[in-house]
Amino acid sequence: MLHLINIHIKERRAFNALNFGIFILYLFQVTAIIGVSLGYQDWFIQKTPFNLSLTFFLLLWLYPVDSSKKGLASLVFFMSGMLVEWLGVNFSLLFGSYEYGDNLGLKIGGVPLLIGVNWMILVLVTGQISNLITQHRWLRVLLGAGLMVLLDFFMEVPAPAFDFWVFEGGVAPASNYIAWFGIACILHAFFQCLRVEGNSKFSVHLYLCQIIFFSYFYLYFSV
């Protein structure tokens, strides 16, 4: 009986921690939407590095990244993201001609470290979401990559206004989305080969937060 009680307490604590983390995700996104809409864009956008860093630590805690396999996957996704972005920024390969602004923090070779973190986060959560939807491994790869491209689509319009990045000519070319999908497919294939498993509820809500935030500002800056 005591053993069952301890299990219940642990499950309850995990449930409370997960819901608290999800609440924090929505709190920061909704607050930023309201703040920017009311004219405080500069103040809120300057907090982007903190917001992304907080999301990263919540992912480590609640996804969670708690095994050598998940650690390896996270490192591969981070390094891959940094590499392809470095090729893009410095040689105009893959995505088109673009450069990063100053609002994403410390850069290496012109690429913010938080961009590598963002690649890692997106692959992990969209991979877990695709696992929820289908049992077919290759459909999971295509679905995960598609979810990443969908988010990138909504990010492209607000990105220059937020001083994240800007493409030559001010518009992301078709090659950007094609490259995103191709690279994401490779990373998701690796994700599926490793059979990574994370928290589905956290993954869905983290992705929804991002979609809500960037789709709102996609419309906001398109009008």
pLDDT tens track for 25-37: 999 999 999 999 9
The tens digit of pLDDT for each residue in 187-206 reads: 999 999 999 999 999 999 99
> Where are the domains positioned within the chain?
2-222
How do residues 32-64 score in pLDDT, each as one tens digit?
A: 999 999 999 889 888 899 999 999 999 999 999
Dihedral (Cα; 8, 13, 18, 19), 10-degree rounding? 100
62 close to 18: Cβ distance less than 8 angstroms: yes
Please, are residues 179 and 187 in contact by the beta-carbon 8 Å criterion? no
> Which pLDDT belongs to residue 136?
95
C-alpha distances (whole Å) from 196 to each of 64, 125, 131 are 11, 11, 10
pLDDT band at 133 (very low <50, low <70, confident <90, very high): very high
What is the C-alpha separation between 218 and 223, in angstroms, rounded? 9
Q: Nearest to residue 118, comparing CAs of 104, 139, 136?
A: 104
Give the mean model confidence (pLDDT) for residues 144-168. 97
Per the CB < 8 A criterion, the answer to whether 149 and 206 are in contact is: no
Mean pLDDT of all residues belonging to the chain: 93
